[in-house]
Amino acid sequence: MALIAAVLLWAGCGGEPANGPIEITFPVSALGAESQVVRRQLARFMGEHPGIRVLQRETPDAADQRHQLFVQWLNAGADDPDILSLDVIWTPEFAAAGWILPLDRFGPDTAEFFPTTISANRWRDSLYALPWFVDVGMLYWRTDLMRVAPRTFEELRRAAGRARRDQGIRHGLVWQGARYEGLVATFVEYLGGYGGRILDDGRVVVASKAGLGALTEMRDEIYASGTVPSAVLTWHEEETRLAFQNGEAAFMRNWPYAYGLMQDSAGSRVAGKYAVTAMPAAPQGAPTATLGGTQLAINRNSEHPEAAWSVIEYLTRPEQMLERAEVVGQFPTRLALYQGPELGEALSIPTADVRRVVESAVPRPVTPVYSQLSEILQIHLHRALTRQRTPAAALREAQAEMQQLLNRSGLGATGSRAAR
């Protein structure tokens, strides 16, 4: 123990331990600029900490695939990778399974972060992951096709119709409609737009009037008004981005990462011709952004938790967050960055707008069985959107199965502190 402590101390202070540097493994995104900015930041970190070598491993970007991979590793008790980049919806699951370490003992400066990003990473009063960047669902709109962005679903439908009819744009709106996590993220925004939610204190309430309004709206966009192409039923984030970037859609629902990627006129037909705003809402609801984003956590079986923490602490510093904002357009999780001028320059979106969307972002249910809940919901939403079921039947079935799951897991309405 004393020996380990000495080595760690050494690692922390910059000298190289006698038996070579400590190796920390860290699987991250393989998307071009994002992977490069992490590489750069890790190179700087290693320059300051010659006792630690961080090995960057590329992993799939699709949320569900990455989840499956991490679950396999952690379930097998692997001590590698040391650092995990988690989707915000996985933290309670990984914490409750005992796969990741509580971070409180490292003294993280949690008061500096957006409170929702911290509460989404707490489980049973401990913090299990530190928010790296925050994702919010936004409406991208073409500034060359219209003067103002629509605020209601109806306004959007009309503007999309005009763009298709009068300006020859192929699609009105594109969103993530494949049967995967992205569909739930999109649905949560329509649901909020109709004034509804998925869970209410351990009770599944998705088969509500609001739920029905939201799912019917999504379905009508495809089959009634033709606003949304039925192709989206197999699309993830990247397929929607490519359609919008090629000038084929008047609107797109997507996360912030797309903003920066479409600015380069070499690969984008819409460079300088788009802006972002909040998703539309119906009169009975409010514009809603799903809270997403990536968190950093430590594998409970890591042999080097202190060294892993020093990497996390470094990557979540304000200067690294600003650099990520500038290079890949991701939104920082630290509040103070929204006060200075640098963030606005880095993102080329007014900081006050970004802050407003982030502050009103709605988390998906914070529960260790989130992935299972979501899978049930995905199946039924997709059935309604492919017209195998009516929206009402799909939501009723989803609600019954989701409630059964919660009850079976002891997280149902009675005595639950977990499922919100």
Residues that bind ligand GLC (CB under 6 A): 63, 87-89, 135, 181-182, 185, 255, 292-293
Report residue 222 as tokens.
Answer: 């495809």
Nearer to ligand GLC, 26 or 331 (CB): 331
State the nearest-atom distance from the C-beta of 15 to ligand GLC, in Å: 38
Cβ-based nearer residue to ligand GLC, 163 or 261: 261
Q: Which is nearer to ligand GLC, 203 or 420 (CB)?
A: 420
**What is the number of alpha carbons within 13 Å of residue 328 lying toward its C-beta?**
21
Kindly state the helix (H) or strand (E) to which residue 72 belongs, with its residue range: helix 63-75
Cβ 117 to ligand GLC, closest distance in Å?
11
Residue (167 or 234) nearer to ligand GLC, CB: 234
In the numeric block, the tokens 């088969």 are attached to: 207
106-144 core/surface letters (b: 16 or more CB in 10 A; e: else): bebebeebbebbbebbbbeeebbbbbbbbbbbbbbbbee
Closest CB to ligand GLC belongs to which residue? 292
In degrees and rounded to multiples of 5, residue 253 shows phi and psi of: -95, 125
174, 229 Cβ separation under 8 angstroms: yes
The 10 Å CB-count burial string (b at 16+, else e) for 179-195 is: bbbbbbbbbbbbbbbbb
H/E/C letters for each residue in 227-287?
A: CCCHHHHHCCHHHHHHHHHCCCEEEEEECCHHHHHCCCCCCCCCCCCEEEECCCECCCCCC
| Nearest distance, CB of residue 154 and ligand GLC, angstroms | 27
Smallest separation (angstroms) from ligand GLC to the CB of 67: 9
Which CB, 34 or 181, lies closer to ligand GLC?
Answer: 181
Instruction: Record the tokens describing residue 335, joined without a space.
Output: 């509040």
**Beta carbon nearer to ligand GLC, 239 or 326:** 239
The least distance separating ligand GLC from the CB of residue 370, rounded to whole angstroms, comes to 10
| Minimum separation from the CB atom of position 236 to ligand GLC (A) | 7
